[in-house]
Amino acid sequence: MNKNIKYILFFCFLYCNFLASQSLEIEELFEKERYEEIVAKETYNNTFTTKELFFIVKSYSKLNRQFESLLLLNKAIPSLVELKDLNSLSIAYNLKAESLVELNKFKEGVLFCENKIVEMEEKEMPYLQELCLKCGILFDRNKEHIKAYKTYDKITKNKIKESITYVSNYAFILASTQRYDEALTYFKKGIDMSYKSKEEGFIGESLHNIARVLIEKKEWKEAKIYLDSAHKNSLAKKKLRDIDVNERKKLYISYYNYYTLQNNLDLAEAVIDRIEDFNKFVYSANTDKRAKKLSTINNRKNILNKKVTVINTEIKIRNEKRLVLFVVLISLIIVMTSWILYIRYKNTKLKYEQILNEQELLSSQMTPHFIFNALSILQGMVLNNEHEKASSYVSKFTNILQFITKDISQSFIKIEEEIIVLKDYVDLQNLSAKKNIELVMEKTFKEKLLIPPMILQPFVENSIIHGFKDNVENPRITINFKLDKNKLHCVITDNGTGLSHGKKKEIKNKTSLATSIVKDRFSILSKKMKGDFAVTIEDLKLKGEKGTEVKLQLPYQIEKMKENERK
């Protein structure tokens, strides 16, 4: 009996050592910034100590995968509540608030903070002031500036109050509550701290915020100095992150406000041109980034497929060696298969929504610079007393904006509605670029059919931007619809310069992006509607002609059928 107890104690000792070594291993990996290895452990092992779990959460955040951090914390917090581990629970609350800030989930963050601050005060939990630091940011970003100010008033620890995070965010809150003199003091203090700690990420934003406060105070000369300093700091950054892009856009808006408030409209208009150029640059950069991201996803998918193959092989070997577990293994396979099918269904649904969002994004890429150009042209018409022309222009412009913000959310729209919006779009592009492009629709059937919205716009846009980039005599885009054996064929033809003319790489990237999104959308609709939809693009120079030809087999619905479905 005593011998058995010794064995049990020995194995317990070994197990405790194993857990300690695993925890130490994850902590060491985190210190060495080997975050990918840490999150890989979470994939294959679901048993971790609370300390290890927090390191995994932080690793996901370091890899900019805050959504996965949030998922882990949402699973862990109920268990910590049951265990009444107030110290670990406080840490988890702080990590969750940090993830909500990084994910820009401000409304969810505000609700979370309102509940947890009260809970931590009532239970006298540790790390309350650390939570107030993050919650103040969430309140301020949700435009609840007074609540943010009161939350920061709860912070008394010098260690927190002397941190650059506190100083920079408190300065912003002071500015939002119109405490401008105090805000300037804290902004300048934040800049000094940034230089001392070599955390240059806060410097440009702080310079910009000082300029904004000075604009509010109408101290124009000093405001211009800080605006120029912030702009110089922004231009010095070789690699622009998303946060840097947003800050640059905000900086240009501040320049615009600076000149507008002083009635210097010429310089204000120059700022608008600069914003347009920057939007084009950001769009091009985002396109390249999306392509690289898709490549990374495919590589990860291949790795996972290989791992699944290895697992299936091991299962097969075990099946052959252990016939006794045959029934159990069959049951497991059924469960796994059901789970995989369920995951595939969810992924397919998610992909479909993503494709629709990308299509909406693609159609709305024209919005930033297009609106500025449109308003500029409209202003010229008004100043030239071209009232009828301006009225027509506003009507077309309104139709397009209404379609982008409302009608594009529908699954199918009338062909005629799609063509009307495209004609308005082409008319506006003609006015903007001083061209005379003609859009013609040809239809060989009488049936009233519905097609997915904005399915043709990317190809019309490619024709205008690339096909008619150079001067073309009598520019023309023809859209021909033909219904043959219950299949809707659409051919988009232009008499432009073709695919082989101009900057090949730029044209290829634009065309392949539009084609890729439409093909993905067709793939989902093919499964949903049990049809075969496709798109091909051909340079007509190969046929000895001029221009580009896009052939599509479109998904469609008959209008009467859709009305019956609604009933």
Query: Would residue 406 count as lying in a domain?
Result: no
Q: How many CB atoms lie within 10 A of CB 462?
A: 23
C-beta separation of 139 from 145 below 8 A: yes
pLDDT at 562: 45
Q: C-alpha angle 330/333/339, rounded to 5°?
A: 145
On whether residue 5 sits in a domain, the answer given is: no
- 418, 417, 406: which is closest to 457 by C-alpha? 418
Q: Report how far residue 31's alpha carbon sits from residue 250's, in angstroms, rounded to the nearest whole number.
A: 36
Cross-strand pairs, 342: none
Confidence of residue 156 (pLDDT cuts 50, 70, 90): very high
Residue 370 lies in a domain: no
pLDDT band at 191 (very low <50, low <70, confident <90, very high): confident
| 47, pLDDT greater than 60 | yes
Q: Could you tell me which residues are beta bridge partners of residue 477?
A: 439, 494
Task: Report in angstroms the alpha-carbon separations of 236 from 201, 242, 248, 251, 288.
Answer: 12, 16, 12, 14, 22
- Count the Cβ atoms, other than its own, within 10 Å of residue 284: 13
Helix pair angle (86-102, 66-83), 10° resolution = 160
Q: Classify 486 in phi/psi space as left (phi over 0), alpha (psi -120 to 50) or beta.
A: left
Pairing of strands 438-443, 476-484: parallel
Cα angle value 73/75/80 (rounded, 5°) = 80
DSSP for 319-339, written as a single string: HHH-GGGHHHHHHHHHHHHHH
Average pLDDT over residues 508-520: 65
Going by pLDDT thresholds of 50, 70 and 90, the confidence category of residue 19 is: very low
List pLDDT tens digits, range 451-465. 988 888 888 888 888
Q: Residue 242 maps to which CATH number? A: 1.25.40.10
Most confident of 83-87, 315-319, 404-408: 83-87
In this predicted structure, what is the pLDDT of residue 73? 93
- Average pLDDT of the residues in 36-43: 81
More confident residue, 206 or 159: 159
pLDDT tens, residue by residue, 199-255:
666 788 888 889 999 998 999 999 999 999 888 888 887 666 666 778 888 888 999
Model confidence at 198: pLDDT above 80: no
What is the tens place of the pLDDT at every residue in 340-349?
A: 888 888 877 7
Q: At residue 387, does pLDDT exceed 80?
A: no
The per-residue pLDDT for 480 is 95
Long-range own/partner contacts, residues 32-36 (CB < 8 A, 24 or more apart): 33/62, 35/59, 35/60, 35/62, 35/63, 36/63
Q: What pLDDT, on a 0 to 100 scale, did the predictor assign at position 366? A: 45
Q: Which of 230, 246, 264 is the last residue of a domain?
A: 264
Instruction: Determine, yes or no, domain membership for 372.
Output: no
Quick one: 464 exposed, middle or buried, by C-beta within 10 A (0-12, 13-18, 19+)? buried
Q: What is the mean pLDDT of residues 528-548?
A: 85
CA distance 298 to 304: 10
pLDDT digit string, tens, across residues 401-420:
777 766 556 778 899 988 98
Q: Which helix (H) or strand (E) holds 451?
A: strand 449-451
Residue 334 lies in a domain: no
How far is the C-alpha of 300 from the C-alpha of 302, rounded, in Å?
A: 5
Tokens representing residue 521 in the block: 């959308």
Q: What is the DSSP letter of 467?
A: I
Give the bridge partners for 438, in sequence order: 476
How far is Cα 164 from Cα 170, in angstroms, rounded to an integer? 10
Mean pLDDT of 500-506: 53
Is residue 474 one of the residues assigned to a domain? Answer: yes
Q: What percent of the chain has pLDDT over 70?
A: 83
Does residue 358 sit within a domain?
A: no
Put simply, whether the predicted model's pTM sits higher than 0.85 gets the answer no
In the numeric block, the tokens 């073709």 are attached to 498
Q: What pLDDT sits at residue 10?
A: 46
Residue ending a domain, choose from 219, 247, 264 = 264
Token digits of residue 120: 């931590």
Tell me if 206 sits within 8 A of 168, measured CB to CB.
yes
CA–CA separation, 552 vs 558, rounded Å? 18
CATH number (domain holding residue 540):
3.30.565.10
Count of domains forming the chain: 2
- Residue 524's closest CA among 411, 448, 435, 389? 411
Among 112-121, 124-133, 454-463, which stretch is predicted with the lowest mean pLDDT?
A: 454-463
Structural domain span for residue 70 = 16-264
Sequence-ordered alpha helix ranges (H) in 325-414: 326-364, 367-383, 387-405
Residue 443 is assigned to a structural domain of this protein: yes
Tell me how far apart the alpha carbons of residues 97 and 127 are, in angstroms, rounded to a whole number.
Answer: 12
Interatomic CA distance for residues 133 and 128, integer angstroms: 9
Q: With a cut of 50, say whether residue 157 has pLDDT above it.
A: yes
The whole-number average pLDDT for the span 540-549 is 88
Q: Residue 15 pLDDT > 50, yes or no? A: no
Closest CA to 494 of 464, 457, 458: 464
Is pLDDT above 90 for 158? yes
Last residue of a domain, one of 264, 294, 311: 264
Contact 169, 192 (CB under 8 A): no
DSSP-derived secondary structure letter, 192: H
